[in-house]
Amino acid sequence: MITLQVNGRKYDVDVDPSTPLLWVLRDTLGLTGTKYGCGMAQCGACTVHLEGEAVRSCVTPVSRAAGKKITTIEGLSANLSHPLQRAWIEIDVPQCGYCQSGQIMAAAVLLRENARPTDTDIDDAMAGNICRCGTYPRIRRAIHRAAELLAERGRR
Amino acid sequence: MSAAKVSRREFLRSGTLVAGGLVIGLRLPALSAAEEAPGLGAGVFAPNGFVRVGTDEAVTIIVNKSEMGQGIYTSLPMILAEELEADWSRIRVEAAPVAPEYNHTVFGIQLTGGSTSVWSSFDQLRQAGAMARLLLVAAAAQAWGVEAAACRAENGFVLHSASGRRLSYGQLADRASTMPAPIEVALKNPKDFKLIGKPMRRLDTPAKTNGTAVFGIDVKRQGMLTAVVARPPVFGARVKSFDARKALAVPGVWHVVQIDAGVAVVADGFWPAKRGRDALEIVWDEGPLAGLDSQAQREQYAELAQQPGAVARREGDAAAAMGGAAKRLEAVYELPYLAHATMEPMNCVADVRPDGCEVWTGTQFQTGDRDAAAQAAGLPPEQVKLHTTLLGGGFGRRAVFDSHFVREAVQVSKTVKAPVKVVWTREDDIRGGFYRPAC
């Protein structure tokens, strides 16, 4: 039995310890917001936070996540209030939407580490997240917008 | 605009113009049997297959095109809501079931592709919205005992200016359900459009930013198993024999079954299914394409390109003009076979029972997939219910003439007698999926 802490909730799961965290989230816990894209850490669709760091859940054995804090897209906010979600909606970033959970989770770590990223900072930090629809220009704008929203929140 | 042309033809036929709007003969399909079935009781006004108005003020627009990133779950509702004079904040979207009235107005089958959705649905959805509006206005006029012509619709209400009275669409839903269907309707004058031609936020964005959007791969059913299929290493290869022992030894693996596409490993979830699939030992009969060689194929295509081809259009004397040209440019263009690489790997959920089959998948081709599912299940098409989910990209990969990704899920579910989700790995699709044609 492995104990997981996902989005502030505890779960005991009975799975093979080598199972990638992605499939425990999706198939065992039913948290399908985290997506399967490639299974080999090449596309970023499965990005979640492990102790606040962005990890590719498709290549992270669940044993590595045992006892640690995991945040998925479902846990980012209860009501779409996270600055990234607000910016994503304001700028209408997604098209098909399949990669966007991973994009948002990757962007959240970027903004925590760099409150005012430049275009280059964004492109570098987001290079591991692929979007087949090509929403990159809007992702960039939305990250800038989220940085503004965060700054406003900080001033208040 | 092609839509305007059709409207004019309709106008010429009915020959009336009133109140600045175009009056057209109504050519809308009636409510389908599929739509009438569940959840439609009292409290819902459903004048045609494309819109329902509830007494709770919800306006549900039924979209017969697949949302794969192009925004069709917003643009088609805009067209209908425009004529309905609906309150945009009340709009909800529902995927259409498979039924003839949801066929593409030009192609005659239920399909999304070719950048055809908006223009081919434009007139139809305007009519659907206008018809609903007309009935709501008629209901209000009846309730107030006034002429319908003295009433107007605006932002989810019918208003009677002379008396200052107004009733919401929700309040009118029950009465509107009892009004006789009109034979013709008046369409709005395009200069009065409030939604069409205006930039609007997509309706599906919030669900795509908090993990609640449901793609085919996210569908959950009670008792559902997951299958990963070993498909041939060569197109056209067949299974000669296989040894399932190592696959069955993987914890969580329940079944190993042979289907037309290859050998399916069925498990509690994707991970054990994939581990089981990787542990399979299969002997393939590689068939006549085993010797296929990319270089030889390329040379063959280059040679074929030298032969005279089909003439699409002939104008002037191209050969003479080329012969007399001062400068001639020659170039060779080649396109390889390419995997479409939809961001969401291919998948399909099927639940086959003796008396019916349900399918959940992100598809661009509902008619073909429904029929393929029926054939694979051994059931008449009427007993197949296909649910269209969101698509994590389409690009034509999800509009395939043989519906193979649906067939295999139906075959596995039928064999193991449980709901089954077949998931392709990324490698499965790149290595042996349905490619874009080379040329």
Is the residue at B298 inside a domain?
no
- Chain B neighbors of A39, CB-CB under 8 A: 425-426
pLDDT of residue B173: 95
Shared domain for B238 and B142, answered yes or no, is: no
Picking from B180, B208, B236, the residue at the C-terminal end of a domain is B208
Q: Are B130 and B228 in the same domain?
A: no
Are residues B371 and B364 in contact, defined by beta-carbon separation less than 8 angstroms?
Answer: no
Rounded Cα distance, B283 and B89, in Å: 58
The predicted structure's pLDDT at residue B8: 33
State the pLDDT at residue B28: 67
| Interchain contact, B202 vs A92, CB within 8 Å | yes
The distance of B212 to chain A (nearest Cα, Å) reads: 6
CA pair distance A150, B204, nearest whole angstrom: 24
Q: Does B71 touch chain A (CB under 8 A)?
A: yes
Q: What gap in Å lies between CA A62 and CA A13, rounded to an integer?
A: 10
Q: Facing residues of B284 across strands?
A: B239
Tell me the backbone φ, ψ of residue B291, rounded to 5 degrees.
Answer: -90, 5
- Res. B9 pLDDT band, cuts 50 70 90: very low
Q: For A106-119, what is each residue's pLDDT tens digit?
A: 999 999 999 999 99
Do B202 and B253 lie in one domain? The reply is no
- DSSP secondary structure letters along A65-122: HTTSEEE-GGGS-SSS-SHHHHHHHHHT--SS-TTHHHHHHHHHHHHHH-SS--HHHH
Q: What is the pLDDT of residue B96?
A: 97
**pLDDT given at position A131:** 98
Q: Choose among B35, B26, B67, B34: nearest CA to B394.
A: B67
Q: Which residues contact B311 (CB under 8 A, 6 or more apart)?
A: none
Q: Is the pLDDT of residue B73 over 50?
A: yes
Same fold, A2-75 and A83-155: no
Phi then psi for residue B54, to 5 deg, are -95, 160
Task: Spell out which residues of chain A touch residue B209, defining contact as CB-CB under 8 Å.
Answer: 73, 80, 84-85, 88-89, 93-94, 100, 104
- Residue B197 and residue B230 in one domain: no
Q: Does B251 touch chain A (CB under 8 A)?
A: yes
Residues from chain B contacting residue A23 (CB–CB below 8 Å): 269-271
Average pLDDT, rounded, for chain B: 91
Q: Is B420 on the interface with A (CB under 8 A)?
A: no
Q: Give me the interface pTM, i.e. the ipTM.
A: 0.97
For residue B309, name the pLDDT band (cuts at 50, 70, 90). Answer: confident
Mean pLDDT confidence for B206-235:
97
Closest-CA distance, A89 to chain B, in angstroms, reads 6
pLDDT in the model for residue B118: 98
- Please give, rounded to a whole number of angstroms, the shortest distance from the CA of B191 to a CA of chain A: 27
Give the residue-averaged pLDDT of B160-177. Answer: 96
Asked: is A2-75 a CATH 3.10.20.30 domain? The reply is yes
Q: Are residues B175 and B267 in the same domain?
A: no
> Is the separation of the CB atoms in B278 and B269 below 8 Å?
no
Minimal Cβ distance to A88: which of B205, B213, B342: B205
Choose among B382, B380, B375, B381: nearest CA to B414.
B375
What is the reported pLDDT for B4?
A: 34
Q: Is B176 in the same domain as B263?
A: no
Closest chain A C-alpha to B393 CA, distance in angstroms: 6
Tens-level pLDDT at each residue, chain A (156 residues): 999 999 999 999 999 999 999 999 999 999 999 999 999 999 999 999 999 999 999 999 999 999 999 999 999 999 999 999 999 999 999 999 999 999 999 999 999 999 999 999 999 999 999 999 999 999 999 999 999 999 998 876
Residue B390 touches chain A, beta carbons under 8 Å: yes
Give the separation between CA B130 and CA B125, rounded to whole angstroms: 8
Query: Measured between CB atoms, does B222 come within 8 Å of chain A?
Result: no
Q: Which residue has the higher pLDDT, B25 or B263?
A: B263
Assess whether B247 and B110 both reside in one domain. no
Residues of A in contact with B344 (CB under 8 A): 35, 37, 96, 98
Q: What is the pLDDT of residue B393?
A: 98
CATH of the domain at B282: 3.30.365.10
CATH placement of domain A83-155: 1.10.150.120
Contact B426 A93 (CB under 8 A): no
Same domain, B395 and B281: yes
With beta carbons under 8 A apart, name residues in chain B contacting A77.
210
Measured on CA atoms in the order B132, B136, B137, B142, is the torsion positive or negative? positive
Examine the fold and report which residue of B208, B230, B247 is the final residue of a domain before the chain moves on. Answer: B208
Are B385 and B355 members of one domain? yes
Q: Which residue of B has its CA nearest to A28?
A: B269
Q: Is the pLDDT of residue B37 over 50?
A: no
Q: Is the pLDDT of residue B42 over 80?
A: no
What is the C-alpha to C-alpha distance for residues A15 and B268, in angstroms, rounded to an integer?
11
Inspect the interface and report whether the beta carbons of B71 and A101 lie closer than 8 Å. no
Q: Do B392 and A19 touch (CB under 8 A)?
A: no
Domain hosting residue B389, numbered range: 216-288+339-432
Q: Which residue of A has its CA nearest to B213?
A: A33
Residues B276 and B147 in one domain: no
Strand partners, B153: B158
The alpha carbon of A126 is separated from its chain's Cα centroid by a whole number of angstroms, namely 11
Given B208, B242, B274, the domain boundary residue is: B208
Q: Which of B220, B226, B271 sits opposite A20 (nearest CB)?
A: B271
**Number of domains composing chain B:** 2
Residues B163 and B251 placed together within one structural domain of the fold: no
* Residue B168 sits in the same domain as residue B223: no
Chain B contacts in chain A segment 36-55 (CB below 8 A): 36-40, 43, 45
Question: Quick one: what percent of chain B has pLDDT higher than 70?
Answer: 90
Inspect the interface and report whether the beta carbons of A37 and B341 lie closer than 8 Å.
no
- Residue B54, token pair as written in the block: 């509830």
Quick check: A136 contacting B, CB < 8 Å?
no
Any idea where the domains of chain A sit in the sequence? 2-75, 83-155
Model pTM? 0.91
Residue of A43, A84, A98 with shortest CB distance to B393: A98
